[in-house]
Amino acid sequence: MIRTLQIDKLAFGGEGFGHLDGKACFVPFTAPGDLAGIRVVQEKSSYCRGELKSLITPSAERVMPPCPVFGMCGGCDWQFLPPDRQLWWKGEIFAELLWRNARIGRDVILPIIPAPTQYGYRARIQLKIRYVKGAIQMGFYRSGSHYVVNIPDHCPLAHSAINKALPEIRHMLQTLPEPDKIPQVDLVTGEDGQTVATVHYIGSRHDELRRVLRDLFPSLVNIHGILVQSGRKNTMESICGNHSLTYGVNAKGEELTLTFSAGGFSQVNYEANRLLVALALEEATTATRQNILDLYCGNGNFSIPLARKCGSVLGVEDNSVSVRDACRNASQHGLYATDFRQGDAVEAVQQLIVQGKRFDLVILDPPRVGGAGLAKLLPELRPATIVYVSCDPATLARDLALLQKSGYLVTKTRPVDMFPQTYHMESITVLKPA
């Protein structure tokens, strides 16, 4: 049954929002101002979700998406909105979540920082693979499913170096043994265009796969390294070529090159990451004896620039590959007052509390699930400043509420448009003791 729904706003998650029979209704790929024909696909007591079937009256805000599979592919949600409206809605969603869940007012929320570029920014993608009746289907999952939407050999969001590699990946997959045993290929590129492919393999012919990849590698122009992963990240094996990549950050006028391995973490948008690092540096002083704790430190994305300006740094990271990258970056830049340790962030902070350690500045950049456990512990370290970098405003708001209960106040917070054409955003928040 097709129903008519007026879309009033955009909600966290990227869906359009309206009211149907007095109930909140969420519909993907709709814009504020749309009069949409929808089919209800999920019904709950307080809300429902719909599927867009037709646009009875399109919103005046709409623009033509450049991607031919937009709306089918689940890789991005907002290509139909112009950049200024995407920014406005991200700012509104950010402010609404922080007020609703942590009672943080707009007086401490700074305007969102726009992304330097709208397309071609993603330095990492995960290609989902299906082998159907002798043909390779390569692309991204349809939203809410495991159906692979076969993309053309170009993704508007992907870095140009990744797009150059896509035809070679498709050709490579067609030549490999057991192509039906390859569910995913990860592509990551450095800022200089060096690109590494990680082939996920669930088959049993490992020796043959290695041999074929090594034989094929010299003919690949746009792929500079290949790894194979057969399970968790600790099963990652370098097959051929290089798997170390680089990007740049600026430490208050000093250009730094940071290295990371294909199996480690890096931000997907290098230009926006520069802005994020610059914001973090603004919160650090130049006091040479300042002690800094960097949780979820990765390859030293914040630690290395901070250590150049602010003294000793202790970094904690669970990923062993990233810890090695951080140590290498510190060594390359002559930073000997740094200590990078592998381990769980919560357990590390618990140990530091027992040891009676104190830090002037704590910076944390947790995964999307946030750092609720840390939010309850950090005040015991008595930092003069906490800088919370977040990629999820919902978990950020939850954690800020916990920190405020423990005596810290948000002095300013600012979203950064790290992920144009999607509802996702990065943010950086500063807290001080009340």
CA 3 to chain centre: 35
Instruction: Give the pairing of strands 135-141 and 124-132.
Output: antiparallel
Catalytic hit among 25, 67, 76, 391: 391
- Is beta strand 385-390 parallel, antiparallel or unpaired with respect to 361-364? parallel
Cα-based angle 152, 188, 234 (whole degrees, multiple of 5):
125
* Token pair recorded at residue 334: 């002559």
Strand ranges of the sheet holding 313-317, from the earlier edge strand across to the other edge:
338-342, 313-317, 292-295, 361-364, 385-390, 426-433, 408-416
Residue identified by tokens 């289907």 is 137
Q: Catalytic residue at 391?
A: yes
Q: Which structure tokens are listed for 229?
A: 């992963």
**Six-digit token pair at 99?**
């007020």
Query: Are the CB atoms for 312 and 287 separated by under 8 Å?
Result: no
Longest CA–CA separation in the chain, Å: 67
Distance CA 137, CA 24 (A): 36
Q: Is 208 in contact with 177 (CB distance < 8 Å)?
A: yes
Annotated catalytic residues are 391
